[in-house]
Every structure is written in C-alpha cells, then in structure tokens.
Structure 1
Amino acid sequence: MATDDLTIVLADDHDLVRAGFRVILESEPGFRVVGEAADGAEAVHAVRAHRPDVVCLDVQMPNVDGLEAARRIAALPDPPAVLVLTTFDHDDALFQALEAGASGFLLKNASPERLIDAVRTVAAGDALLAPDVTRRVISRATAAPSAPSTTRGDDALAAAGLTDRETDVLRLLARGLSNAEIATELYVGEATVKTHVSNVLQKLGLRDRIQAVVWAFEHGVAGNPA
C-alpha cells in the first residue's frame, strides 16, 4: 500500500452512506479510507488515531454533531482538512461549518466526481469557494453589525505590507481560484502560490482563505465573484 496515499476518515451515522462514500473514494487511485465514525465523538477519536489528510463529516449526527466535531478537530495539533457533507443547503449550516474550521461544504447529492474533486481540493490546502458560495460568504460577512473598515484599497494593502504579487494572489483568491488555477494564471508553480497564500494570511492576520476572500471584498480590492 502506497505510503503517499491521500488518507480519509468518513463520519456519518448511516452505514450505507459511509459504505457508498468509501466505494466512491477508494475507486480513485491514491485515495484510501483509513477510518469510519458514526458520530462526532467517534470522528474526533478516529482523527486522533489515524491522522488522516481529510475528514468527511456529516452535519447531523447523534451525540456530537458534525459542527462540534469540526471545532474539536480544528483545535487538534496539525489537524486534517475538514469537508462537511450534508443533505441540506441552508446558509446557517454553511456559515457554521466555515466558522467551525471546515475547509469545504458539499451537498450529499453531488456527483461522485464532485466528491472526489472536493476531497482532493481540501487536501491540497484549498477551500471550496464556488462563486455562489463566495457571494453568500461575502454577503453574510459584510452584513455583520461590526463597524466597517475605514482603510480601503491601496491604503489597506500598503498598511498590510503585501507585495504586488501577493496582492495579485489575494485578488485571485477572491475570485474563488484554487492554488493550481492561480499558478496557471500567474505562470508560477503551485509551491510558489502556497508560499504567497501563506504570506497573505500571515500579513493580514487571517485564519484561512475564506477570511482572505472576505477581507478582499470588505476593503474593495477585489471585483465581484464570477
């Protein structure tokens, strides 16, 4: 068994759902399901035991739900990427999942190909920021009652100390592009993009790419999502 397999833990309270996801994911070369859980507490235990690259979490599970499990997993040392899977498309679930530290949010009626792509995306350190999800994240963030930033545009970028290339990366993040897509757009390697993304997050004092997208829109340094 390859040591560089992408490892996955599945957490869902329905045995048939987990079995279906396992079949789909293990049909992809290099994907390996290393653990399963029927509730959130078991999911946290499985993550501690197996140290996977990705954990796929159902939202509605008994005892400890997926959102609380996501919070506990995010607090672990070197946590895996968290992909939240659900049967409903409610904004509250979406934003609670993102706030809990999830890297992505996918409906269970997505195609097998979409599930495989989603797992690969979050494992690579990218967030699932489809344009419609981006718009909803921005709408929610900018509708918050906190005082708006008075520093905008070039002033905000200068204050943060972002380089021109880091600014380019931030704007492409705000369009929902993955690291691979940004690399193609800027004619650089993915490793270089990852370094720029890390620098952007550090300089802006942000937790993840989703917060970077919100920051870009709040400060007027990104266009509307496509």
Structure 2
Amino acid sequence: MTTETPLVLVTEGNVQATTFTTYLMAQLGQPIRLISHPDQLLAIEDCNLFLIDLDYLKSSQQFGWNRDIAAFESARTVLLNAPTSTDRDLLLMWPNTSGLFFRQDPLDRLVAGIKKVLQGEFWIPRHLMCELVNYYRQGMEPAQRSQNLLTVREREIIRYLMTGASNTEIADTLFVSEHTIKSHLYNVFKKLNVKNRLQAVSWAKEYLDMTSSH
C-alpha cells in the first residue's frame, strides 16, 4: 500500500537516526518518514521533499538513489552531510536540489535552511550557485558536439554508469572484460573532457537523452 509522505529522510535506520528524525519533526512541525533502502520508495505515493544523508549513502555503498528519486518529479531534494570539497557535479547528480548542508553545519542552521526550502526558497552556498549558473550559461552546443563523438557502446556504458553500476557489474552485463570497460571509460572521459565517473554521470543526466542510443 502506497502512502503520501510530505518529507522523507534517507539515512541509516538506527537509534541515532530515529532521534534525529524526531528532533526534525518537532522543529519543522511535519511528519518525516525514515527510509534506508531504495525499495522502500515503492511504498511512497508522493513526497514534497527528500532529505538525503550523503554520509550514509557513501558508507552503505547503495547506488541509484538519485535515479529512483527522480521519479518523484515534483519533489525537491536537500543534501545533508556534504563534504567541504563539494562542487557543482554533486548538485547536478541529484534531481531538483534546493538545499545543501555540510557535515559541520550546526543543527539550528540545518533547521532554518530546511524551513526556507519548504517555503520554496533555495539554501545552497553562494559559490556553488555561481558554479551552476556559469555551467548553464555555457550553453549546450559543446555537449552536443561531444555526443556525436561517442560510439554506441560508449553511450551504452555511460548509461550503466548512471545506475551506479561498477566496472565489474558493467563488464558482466555486457559479457566483456573489466579491462575493456576501463578502456571505454578512458575514451569517454577524454571525449567529454571530464575527470571522473561523477562528472561523466552529470554530463549524461544533462545531455545524453538528447541523442538516440542507436
């Protein structure tokens, strides 16, 4: 049975997380549902805001959350426990990101920011907002040229990257060696002028669907 849940917190299901959830509910005056696995999204009919604990996702090595949450088109996303090294690529990976908080941010700042997001505002550090603005100002023409350079197999592999699959998982799926996948990824990174998987996925989310996979 699916239910409508205004706020959803994605984090580890332990006592500390439950205490944090209770605190947020008291401060925000809204119910919050705590989930720790993507399968639990199936029981949610609608959601206004997802609170994403990035530390938990990293430690649990669960992938594909951003893709699954993208299915909730009207929902916004707030990223919690972001590293200080965060750049625009992380924001581009998550759908409708409206807020971002670093690990060292105090609870009162977190609550104040989430309240602003619930009111329709953004709570993202200024330097990251500037990076996003500059990114979109660059236009789509360079990306379109990059698309034309990708082979069918390279496009296929980058789509697997978007699901969070590892090199080994992609190799097993395509019945090729892991070395072959690494060679393809090297070529993809070079053609797209990106440095890592995260940047490649960000590019793909923005541009890949503009072109046919055939």
TM-score by length of 1: 0.48
Q: Higher relative contact order by CA 8 Å / sep ≥ 6: 1 or 2?
A: 2
